Amino acid sequence: MSTLLPADFADLEPWAETWSLATEPERYDRRMASSMAEMQAFYDAITPRAEAALTYLDRYTLDDLPDDGRRLMWLLHSMIMVSFPVEVWSQPRVPDSGAAALHCVLEPRS
C-alpha cells in the first residue's frame, strides 16, 4: 500500500488524499465543497499534529523537501484554509460576503 505522507504522520494518512492539495484554489474549492462536519473532523485530526509536522518540515529547505513532506506541508495549508470556518464562522463561506469571491492568480512558491 502506497502512502502519501511521511511515516511519522501515518495517523493523518486518511486525510491526505482529500486535503493534501497543491494550490490555494484547490484548497478553497475543497473547503466550499465540504460540510462543516467534514471540516471539523479534519481540523480535529490535524491540529494536535501541526507542531510536530512543522518540526518535521523545518528539517528541510523548500528545494530539498521530499514529495511526502511537500504533501504534509499542503495538508497544513488545508488546516489553515479551514481554521476560520471551524473556529469562527461555523460555515464554509465568509459571513456577510454575499456573492463576492477572491481568486488567487499567483501563488507563493511551495
Q: Specify if 96 maps to a domain.
A: no
Count of domains forming the chain: 1
Alpha-helix residue ranges (DSSP H) falling in 1-110: 13-19, 24-33, 36-46, 50-57, 67-84
pTM of the model: 0.81
Residue 98 lies in a domain: no
Q: For residue range 40-66, what is the model confidence (pLDDT) as tens digits?
A: 999 999 999 999 999 999 999 999 999
Residue-level pLDDT at 88 = 77
5 located within any domain: no
- pLDDT value of position 91: 67
Spatial neighbors of 41 by CB under 8 A, at least 6 apart, are: none
